[in-house]
């Protein structure tokens, strides 16, 4: 992807962020509530099981769904029927997050380009989240989506957006919206203390004289060997993540000590400590980690964390934040952001 440098007048900046979380993000109920626990799931449940089994391959038990026998009657364990009940839908949440940045704008103020990041699926499989945002927000160009990179999706979208803006001077604003809404048929539990959650986050990148964060460097790396199916995000290979962080520091011509805030996408304290030690990052500059909170917004995790940072601090000119994210198949990404005042 496009490699950014330390000089370029009019370089795009991250100028706004927004987030939406359902009122009860972790409401749980059995998919067949009120029915016989041994009853077969609905056809929609069966289809969703097959889709998630093919998408989220780190769960060994998912691999059997849809591979044998009719898709309408898979063998489903009782505990697999416990999951989140997303209200509203994935595209509803995406639109709510986008509206915090673009509240029903006239066409002259609509974003030029919309990029959607998601791992989960719309419950109405005929509905396109990217298409709905394009219609509601009146963006000028056809939207597109990035899927199945989990938490790495957002930084991949940032990389693509900057490359597009570098090659097209007429592209002035890109809205990136990440959203997840997990179907009830899928067990959201990733690990004993980590669970998938519903929510959405939005980020606006613009060529603008107002204050914002320029991307000083960005690196995306993939593990040479795919992880085993039963691996989970918190055990993602730290080797690949360390490589991504070191590449970003090198490209930005910065030392680890010159980073003011470190924003990991995970709350796994053991992993964060190991990565900081290997990259010589200063642990006291880690922002907003709480090892007791383990809900994970998947594709929306990194933009949500980034937005929380930007709303919590009052940065000075030239201060920097290092943001990292990881995926379930060993992907890793790191961005170094530098604050520029108006």
**pLDDT class for 147, splitting at 50, 70, 90?**
confident
Q: 247 pLDDT exceeds 60?
A: yes
Domain containing 321 equals 212-340
Least confident of 120-129, 143-152, 303-312: 120-129
Mean pLDDT of the 80-89 span: 51
Q: 178 pLDDT exceeds 90?
A: yes
Give pLDDT, residue 25: 45
Mean pLDDT of the 275-291 span: 88
Asked if residue 229 is part of any domain, the answer here is yes
Mean pLDDT of the 115-130 span: 89
Give pLDDT, residue 293: 58
Task: Characterize the bridge pairing of strands 194-196 and 295-296.
Answer: parallel
Asked if residue 39 is part of any domain, the answer here is no
Q: What percent of the chain has pLDDT over 70?
A: 70
Q: Cα Rg for the chain, rounded, in angstroms? A: 20
C-alpha distances in Å from residue 72, one per residue of 37, 49, 69, 85, 126: 17, 10, 9, 21, 19
**pLDDT class for 211, splitting at 50, 70, 90?**
very high
**Cβ neighbours of 238 (radius 10 Å):** 19
Asked if residue 15 is part of any domain, the answer here is no
Give the residue ranges of DSSP H helices in the chain: 43-55, 90-99, 129-137, 153-167, 238-251, 269-279, 301-312
Q: 49 pLDDT exceeds 50?
A: yes
Least confident of 95-104, 133-142, 191-200: 191-200
What is the rounded distance in angstroms from the CA atom of residue 291 to the CA atom of residue 267? 5
Residue found under tokens 């400590």: 273
**pLDDT class for 192, splitting at 50, 70, 90?**
low
The reply to whether omega before 33 is within 30° of 0 (cis) is: no
Asked if residue 247 is part of any domain, the answer here is yes
Cα 305–chain centre separation: 10
Asked if residue 125 is part of any domain, the answer here is no
Give pLDDT, residue 56: 56
Number of structural domains the chain divides into: 1
Do the beta carbons of residue 281 and residue 322 sit within 8 Å?
yes
Asked if residue 227 is part of any domain, the answer here is yes
C-alpha distances in Å from residue 145, one per residue of 124, 161, 229, 304: 17, 12, 25, 18
The pair of three-digit structure tokens given for residue 272, joined into one six-digit string: 């964060």
Kindly report the CATH number assigned to the domain that includes residue 279. 3.40.47.10
34: left (phi over 0), alpha (psi -120 to 50) or beta: left
Give pLDDT, residue 271: 85
Asked if residue 174 is part of any domain, the answer here is no
Asked if residue 76 is part of any domain, the answer here is no
């Amino acid at each position: 992807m496009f490699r950014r440098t330390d000089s370029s007048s009019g370089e795009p900046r991250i100028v706004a962020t927004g987030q939406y979380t359902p009122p009860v993000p972790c409401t749980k109920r059995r998919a067949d509530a009120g029915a016989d626990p041994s009853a077969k799931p609905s056809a929609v449940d069966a289809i969703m099981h097959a889709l998630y089994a093919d998408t989220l391959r780190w769960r060994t038990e998912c691999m059997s769904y849809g591979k044998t026998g009719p898709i309408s009657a898979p063998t489903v364990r009782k505990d697999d029927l416990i999951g989140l009940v997303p209200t509203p839908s994935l595209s509803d949440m995406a639109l709510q997050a986008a509206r915090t940045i673009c509240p029903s704008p006239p066409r002259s103020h609509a974003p030029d380009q919309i990029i959607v990041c998601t791992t989960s699926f719309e419950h109405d499989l005929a509905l396109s989240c990217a298409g709905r945002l394009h219609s509601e927000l009146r963006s000028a160009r056809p939207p597109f989506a990035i899927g199945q990179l989990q938490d790495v999706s957002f930084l991949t979208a940032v990389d693509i957006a900057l490359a597009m803006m570098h090659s097209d001077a007429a592209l002035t604003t890109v809205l990136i919206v990440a959203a997840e809404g997990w179907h009830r048929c899928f067990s959201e539990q990733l690990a004993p203390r980590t669970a998938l959650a519903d929510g959405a986050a939005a980020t606006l990148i613009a060529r603008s004289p107002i204050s914002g964060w320029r991307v000083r460097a960005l690196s995306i790396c993939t593990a040479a060997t795919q992880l085993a199916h039963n691996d989970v995000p918190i055990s993602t290979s730290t080797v690949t993540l360390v490589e991504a962080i070191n590449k970003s520091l090198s490209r930005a011509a910065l030392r680890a000590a010159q980073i003011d805030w470190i924003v990991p996408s995970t709350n796994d304290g053991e992993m964060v400590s190991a990565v900081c030690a290997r990259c010589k990052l200063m642990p006291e500059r880690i922002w907003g980690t709480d090892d007791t909170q383990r809900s994970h917004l998947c594709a929306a995790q990194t933009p949500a964390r980034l937005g929380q940072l930007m709303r919590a601090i009052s940065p000075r000119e030239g201060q920097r934040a290092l943001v990292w994210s990881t995926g379930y198949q060993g992907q890793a990404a790191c961005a170094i952001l530098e604050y520029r005042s108006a």
